[in-house]
């Protein structure tokens, strides 16, 4: 029985927390212990244990009981905030580490040692299959909003599109260039770090460019994009994320796809779940499909089509 379930009161079994278990501690104790969220043995153990517990699969009734637990509800906003901060610290640390590679092959080797690199590759394949199911087979121009200092999804996405594992390589023609990805982030330091990383990986400027600014900035043109991704950490509340999604959709052409990352099940402890079916969203976006992972991938995928 999961310690998370036991602690939340779903089972009478007493939770046996290891020294660095995340769930079950008082909020104040957890916050005091995690004064430094940079990667370390303690931080890695804490969040590794949390992610492992939250990726467990249980029946709907059990999950509902855990998420409705008064104990969990009391710490959930702080817990999600901690996860967001820790993820940012993890990405910044690894981006700097990977950028130490002086040659693209060395930088790529370091990139592949990132603890969750395999998860991002799997999530990328899942999202590409979702896009194909929605009718978009070979996207040429993509924007990723909330790319951060370590734009792993854009890197994996570019690689997957160029190799096209599902239908074989599709070389650019005279009338059609290869895919281009725009990394969008409002943090200047994150953009600078990501730019250095992309250079170290040897990715040409025509294949990946960077935009520093807010997602709702009118200077960010999205009308030529086949698909826009909205990262899970962009927007804290449902309302904030909804407003950002509508602002983005307003600058996209009808028929283009907006991919919104969300969460489901116990993964809601890590990221807030997003409802793409509200009245305001339905007025501008049509939900094409929703995909929930059952393995180590954390994020759910919501594919919407601009009306």
Q: What is the DSSP string of 137-195?
A: SS--EEEEET--SS-HHHHHHHHHHHH-TTT------SS----EEEEEES-HHHHHHHH
Predicted confidence at residue 17, as pLDDT, reads 43
Shared domain check, 8 and 132: no
Domain count, the chain: 2
Predicted confidence at residue 172, as pLDDT, reads 59
Distance CA 64, CA 5 (A): 11
Shared domain check, 265 and 125: yes
Predicted confidence at residue 173, as pLDDT, reads 57
Distance CA 166, CA 133 (A): 13
Cβ neighbours of residue 95 closer than 8 Å, sequence gap 6 or more:
149, 150, 193, 194, 196, 197
Predicted confidence at residue 41, as pLDDT, reads 86
Range of the domain at 26: 3-98
Predicted confidence at residue 14, as pLDDT, reads 42
Shared domain check, 27 and 67: yes
Predicted confidence at residue 12, as pLDDT, reads 43
Cβ neighbours of residue 6 closer than 8 Å, sequence gap 6 or more:
13, 14, 15
With respect to residue 110, please indicate whether it lies within any of the assigned structural domains. no
Shared domain check, 238 and 281: yes
Predicted confidence at residue 13, as pLDDT, reads 47
With respect to residue 106, please indicate whether it lies within any of the assigned structural domains. no
Predicted confidence at residue 105, as pLDDT, reads 97
Predicted confidence at residue 106, as pLDDT, reads 98
pLDDT along the chain (307 residues), means of 10: 70 44 50 72 86 92 93 88 91 96 96 95 96 95 98 97 67 69 97 97 96 93 97 94 97 98 95 96 98 95 98
Residue given tokens 């305001």 in the structure block = 280
CATH of the domain at 278: 3.40.50.150
With respect to residue 59, please indicate whether it lies within any of the assigned structural domains. yes
Predicted confidence at residue 20, as pLDDT, reads 42
Predicted confidence at residue 165, as pLDDT, reads 53
Within 10 angstroms of residue 279's Cβ, the number of other Cβ atoms is 6
């Amino acid at each position: 029985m999961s310690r998370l379930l036991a602690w939340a009161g779903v089972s009478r079994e007493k939770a046996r927390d290891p020294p660095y278990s995340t769930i079950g501690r008082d909020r104040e104790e957890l916050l005091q212990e995690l004064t430094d969220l940079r990667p370390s043995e303690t931080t890695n153990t804490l969040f590794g244990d949390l992610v492992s517990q939250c990726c467990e699969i249980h029946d709907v009734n059990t999950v509902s009981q855990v998420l409705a637990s008064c104990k969990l509800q009391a710490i959930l906003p702080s817990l999600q905030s901690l996860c967001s901060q820790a993820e940012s610290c993890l990405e910044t640390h690894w981006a700097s580490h990977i950028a130490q590679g002086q040659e693209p092959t060395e930088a790529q080797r370091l990139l592949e040692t990132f603890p969750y690199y395999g998860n991002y590759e799997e999530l990328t394949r899942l999202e590409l299959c979702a896009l194909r199911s929605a009718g978009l087979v070979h996207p040429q121009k993509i924007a990723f909003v909330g790319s951060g200092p370590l734009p792993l999804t854009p890197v994996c996405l570019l690689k997957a599109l160029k190799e096209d594992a599902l239908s074989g390589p599709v070389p650019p023609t005279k009338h059609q260039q290869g895919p281009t990805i725009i990394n969008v982030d409002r943090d200047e330091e994150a953009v600078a770090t990501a730019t250095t990383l992309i250079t170290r990986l040897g990715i040409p400027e025509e294949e990946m460019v960077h935009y520093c600014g807010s997602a709702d900035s009118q200077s960010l043109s999205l009308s030529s994009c086949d698909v826009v991704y909205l990262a899970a950490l962009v927007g804290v509340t449902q309302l904030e994320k909804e407003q950002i999604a509508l602002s983005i959709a307003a600058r996209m052409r009808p028929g283009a796809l907006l991919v919104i990352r969300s969460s489901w099940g116990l993964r809601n402890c890590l990221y807030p779940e997003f409802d793409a079916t509200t009245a305001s969203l339905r007025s501008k976006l049509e939900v094409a499909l929703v995909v929930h992972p059952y393995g180590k991938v954390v994020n759910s995928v919501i594919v919407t089509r601009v009306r």
